[in-house]
Chains A and B, each alone.
Chain A
Amino acid sequence: MEIYIHLPFCKSKCQYCDFNSYAACDGATIYSYLAALCREIKFAGEQYGGARIDTVYIGGGTPSMLEAKHISSICRVLKENFDLSGVEEFSIEANPESVAEDKLLAYREAGIDRISIGVQSLDDRNLRSMGRLHDKDTALEKLALADKYFQNVSSDLIIGLPYDNSQLIKSEIDELSGYVTHMSVYQLTLEEGTPLKKRADEGRVWLPSDDEVADLMDVAIDTLSADGFERYEVSNFAKGGKISKHNMGYWTREEYLGLGAGAHSLVKTSDGRTPLPAEIRFSHPRDLNAYIGGVNCVDAFDKIPRAEMSVLSKTDILNEQIMLGLRTANGVEEELLFGRIPPELDEFFARFDGRIALNKRGMEVMNGILVRILEL
């Protein structure tokens, strides 16, 4: 089983961000959130404490924005309530501006062995335009610091920013590969309700076209490959086999508990509410107060309010296996897709050892392919 901990706090909200995160929260709010989170960890431990935990991931928001002692406390409470002796990977997310030596030391002390840094770009104009709080120099400085204390450093990179061009993408990746063993490369998406979407709709920001982004993505993939990174998932690349085991768990449908506001879980035994063993996805309320209040007024994990919950049918499970499995280079067992791939789609797939996966072109247009092969 995996554990995900959500820390929904940021110094400020980035232009493109529609994640569950809140900017400029006061100390009292953060404190009561952490208290509720620890209460939830305790309840979860009472229900699932016997399960063997394989990976832990502290995400956000910006976990590195919190004081080192807060992270230490969360880790301590986790250890008190779960058996972490078999944990193979313990990650935390950080943004360059709030990475500091004392925090890195505290993380290591707490058992964290992997750090993922939200660099996003190494072009100061891009960074400013997206409302990021760091610049290129800070990013490189903090990467070096992280590299000093951690074997396993990852960096995020966004493709399709206003000042992107193939030259820039290539040099960004080349520079980053000096520090990291893992890169997540995402294409910028304009999400409803974000300031960036509004600016784009009003024509106040120039963004590369879909075709240009596709070209930039090709440059990124080629550069990563030249730098020794292997694409093991549509947007994730690892050097020396340092894949993200936690994220891999999502694609292979491992059980996971999501703790914190808006966090999602997948459990495959009883969740305490449904009597029969079933596969269930559920999530907590996104709103901070709804989450805090919800946790504080109950006395068990399964009583915490849920924003969404679905008991998965056989079709749901099969659809998930396909849509998640095909994100990975390893693909899925061929028989899972038996009879589902019309001949005209063959050119988007690769077959090997009884497995089938999307090839590079297939990964580019994965949604279009999924819509055709899934029973939705």
Chain B
Amino acid sequence: MNDLFVYTLRLGDDALIAAQRTAEWIAAAPQLEEDVALGNIGLDQLGQARTLLQYAGQVEGAGRSEDDLAYFRDERDFLNVQLCELPNGDFAQSIARLLYFATYQHLLYEELRGCADETLAGVAGKAVKEVAYHVDHATQWVLRLGDGTEESHRRMQAGLDTMWPYTAELFTSDALVERLEVAVDPSTLHDEWERRVTQVIDESTCARPTSSYQHSGGREGRHTEHFGFLLAELQHVARSHPGASW
């Protein structure tokens, strides 16, 4: 398979699956302002996913559209990291994921906007501003929850701990990113990511998670048990009417 296609798919799948989870908060958030904010963030993620999947389809050259890629691939063909597919859990857990993921995306897009591929550079240039807001939103909440009440502190710590073992996968390098010139080698982003995330966690009075075990497999299409249900829900209407337009 074409390296650029696979690389673009990885970024697009991350954004799509993140959007699907974020959207689950709409009409269920702790307050109305948060329904609006998380709606915004989900829309940003979905917008990034759409542009990336359109581009992936174009690069592949087999005539697949964003919807073909989103709705008519099976579990093992999705290349998103497992972090994005994990269930939302409570609000603190979702916020922990957003902090980890958006901080990674921010560093990634900052690098990618200077790459030689015009489309990827363009997507990154637009998205970097969006994810800067996501990082800020997550940061504000980690601080409030970490240094709020006893209960919120306990929940924030648990959220950070639960999501932590899924973060190393974001930074795993492989032969593809080494071969593909326009790709950002994610391993080069790790130290700065850890510095930024640790700073927020420290300020929040939570402790940096210590788990050394790290999950992996998403980039090879090996996912968690949760993922099949997410996809079933996302895809079922489209798959029930193959060939239909919506």
A and B held together in a complex: no
A residues with a Cβ closer than 8 A to B are: none
